[in-house]
Amino acid sequence: MARPRTRFPIGRWAVVAHDLLVIPVAWLGAYWLRFNLGPVPHVFLRQSVYLLPVVLAVQGLVFWNMGLYRGIWRFASVPDLLRIFKAIVAGTAGSALVLFLLARLVDVPRSAFVLDGLLLMVFLGGPRFFYRFLKDRNLYQPAEKKALIVGAGRAGEMLVRDLLRGGDVGYWPVAFVDDNPRRVGQEIHGVPVVADCDQLPDVAERLEIDIVFIAITEAKARTMRRLIELCERAGRPFRILPGLQNVVDGQVNIQELREVNIEDLLGREPVLLDWQEIAHGIGDKTVLVTGAGGSIGSELCRQIAKLGPRSLLLFERSEFNLYSIELELRRDYPNLFLLPILGDVGDGLLVDRVLGGHRPDVIFHAAAYKHVPLLEGQSRSAVVNNVLGTETLAAAADRFGCGIFLLISTDKAVNPSNVMGATKRAAEILCQEMNARSKTRFLTVRFGNVLGSAGSVIPLFKAQIASGGPVTVTHRDITRYFMTIPEACGLILQASVIGRGGEIFVLDMGEPVRISYLAEQLILLSGKRPGQDIEITYTGLRPGEKLYEELFYPDEALQPTGHAKIRQTSGTPVDTTDFSKQLNALRDLCSHANEETLAAALRDMISGERVCSQSSASG
């Protein structure tokens, strides 16, 4: 098969022609300089002309092979200058060697090679940078709107460079602010660093700034909140650059700027995971995810799909959610074996058929009802799905020899004050009880709220803001833990390969956040003012709601694991006989009892477990 011809832009042939023309100019000019700008003696002039074709051929080949024609004059830069220098050194040395072999350098001044190299540096580098100067001169014109850059580091430098070149973007950088005192007073591409970040409002006022660009890509959440508050005090619109990886990849430019979102304010340190270890535990395995179409379940599926499992089973009761995640995964991973399963984990026949037919190695049990106020009056549905459904799936995992069963729990399972939390605590106890008598490793991962999940507070606030308010918060002092969905799922996968069986893993959720602060920030980020454009109303705690959540019981001795963001506890001892009786009682009550009776039985089951464990500890 014939190789396709490489197209070479016509403009670059002009560059080649230019360089071939300056080679003889530099060679003959070197002789002229050698003889002090006077007449060149006839014998030397004749020899220089005689050897010129050899010099032209050698240096032309060297220039071509060393990539002088890969760059574009319009964007000539220091790397291009370095490439020219290397090519000139190699070309001059090559010429000297060939001329020595051909003519023993008779009537060739040795200094001619040094002078030739210096002239070539001027003749090759000068036109390139002059051409760039001519092209850039018209672009470096002040735009209509003045921009203030926060952060004079690498990202800020790249952004300013792009702003100076991009004459059609409408923003002209006039100053930096930076918290590093050594940078204050310096200039970057002619743009001064005028003050530290605390002076941002004053600088914006004094310089009549139109917009603020935040170019501190590695900022912690606390630092980002401070910068956003300073921008809000300045009363100017502001934009933020993307993450650090974009800076590493050299992708920082004006098009990458975006509006600040709530994740930037609540964002946490990037979590480093041992993907090699995770891939060893998940790769080439059959993996089942329940609740595969939910917020956590779907992200788990995405991350698992990247690890190359033998097959991925998607268990989901919502037809639309199952269709959506299957469509996405088939598009992104066409070679992955996917099996969508539409059904309920409480359906024993279906669960047995799936687990018996496919024998999953790992099960991630994310399916659960989780809406606290909604479940307060529907304890039967909560118990059937969250407790009995978990029992059905866990028993089948034991029966069919599943390797790992991981339950995804919640901080609401700690000292539960609501039906939802109580059912998740019961599910935790169930997994510990199963682990004590099964070859399957039963694990639990407990964490708080995730940003942007279905039914969570942030989408609700955004909808209320979009409709003009008011934004409803239950209590001024209510706090919650938050983390991003990808972070939570990555740590769940990490825990699955750390666990040996029976552990309850508690994810590091950082500091709790006031819900009223979330409401205020979301209103500000939407361009409105809290209390003026959008009201915040406090409605009182809802049924089953607590002011604050806990991640572990006081008597749960948390231990570190191999990952800094994951701690573990062995939980509390479980009286398997009593628990089995209580579980059977719940099952019987689900058949005929009313909601209040079932909720009371569930509370007694959970409170009895704590009393039992505390008595054992004291004895």
DSSP 404-451: EEEEEEEGGGSS--SHHHHHHHHHHHHHHHHHTT-SSEEEEEEE-EET
Are residues 492 and 408 in contact, defined by beta-carbon separation less than 8 angstroms? yes
C-alpha closest to that of 586 among 445, 425, 399: 425
Taking the C-alpha atoms of residue 178 and residue 195, their distance in angstroms, rounded to an integer, is 6
Taking the C-alpha atoms of residue 180 and residue 199, their distance in angstroms, rounded to an integer, is 13
C-alpha closest to that of 501 among 562, 444, 553, 446: 444
> Exposure of 515 by Cβ count < 10 A (0-12 exposed, 13-18 middle, 19+ buried)?
buried
pLDDT at 33: 86
Q: Which two tokens stand for residue 102?
A: 């051909």
> Exposure of 44 by Cβ count < 10 A (0-12 exposed, 13-18 middle, 19+ buried)?
middle
> Exposure of 534 by Cβ count < 10 A (0-12 exposed, 13-18 middle, 19+ buried)?
buried
Query: Is 135 known to be catalytic?
Result: no
Are residues 464 and 471 in contact, defined by beta-carbon separation less than 8 angstroms? yes
Taking the C-alpha atoms of residue 405 and residue 431, their distance in angstroms, rounded to an integer, is 8
Taking the C-alpha atoms of residue 239 and residue 211, their distance in angstroms, rounded to an integer, is 8
Average pLDDT over the chain, rounded to whole?
A: 82
Active-site residue (options: 146, 412, 424, 546) = 412
Pairing status of strand 536-538 against strand 513-514: unpaired
Instruction: Cite the residue boundaries of each domain of the chain with CATH code 3.40.50.720.
Output: 145-260, 275-612
pLDDT at 365: 98
| Neighbouring-strand partners of residue 410 | 447
pLDDT at 340: 97
Taking the C-alpha atoms of residue 227 and residue 45, their distance in angstroms, rounded to an integer, is 70
Q: Which two tokens stand for residue 543?
A: 């049924």
Taking the C-alpha atoms of residue 365 and residue 592, their distance in angstroms, rounded to an integer, is 27
What is the DSSP track for 249-268?
A: TT--SGGG-B---HHHHH--
The stretches in the chain having pLDDT less than 70 are 1-12, 67-80, 129, 131-144, 165-169, 217-221, 242-270, 452-455, 572-576, 608-619
| Neighbouring-strand partners of residue 450 | 483
Rounded to 5°, angle at Cα 552 from 548 and 558? 145
What is the DSSP track for 139-190?
A: T-S--SEEEEEE--SHHHHHHHHHHHH-TTS-EEEEEEE-S-TTTTT-EETT
Pairing status of strand 513-514 against strand 479-480: antiparallel
Are residues 304 and 281 in contact, defined by beta-carbon separation less than 8 angstroms? no
If you count DSSP H runs as helices and E runs as strands, how many of each does the chain have, helices first? 22, 21
C-alpha closest to that of 246 among 226, 217, 224, 279: 217
Rounded to 5°, angle at Cα 531 from 526 and 533? 50
Taking the C-alpha atoms of residue 499 and residue 508, their distance in angstroms, rounded to an integer, is 16
Domain 145-260 has CATH 3.40.50.720: yes
Rounded to 5°, angle at Cα 126 from 120 and 128? 110
Pairing status of strand 504-507 against strand 566-569: antiparallel
CATH superfamily of 275-612: NAD(P)-binding Rossmann-like Domain (3.40.50.720)
> Exposure of 414 by Cβ count < 10 A (0-12 exposed, 13-18 middle, 19+ buried)?
buried
CA 467 to chain centre: 31
Are residues 400 and 436 in contact, defined by beta-carbon separation less than 8 angstroms? no
Residue with tokens 């464990």: 613
pLDDT at 617: 39
Q: Could you tell me the pTM of the whole model?
A: 0.67
pLDDT at 333: 95
Q: Which two tokens stand for residue 22?
A: 């300056």
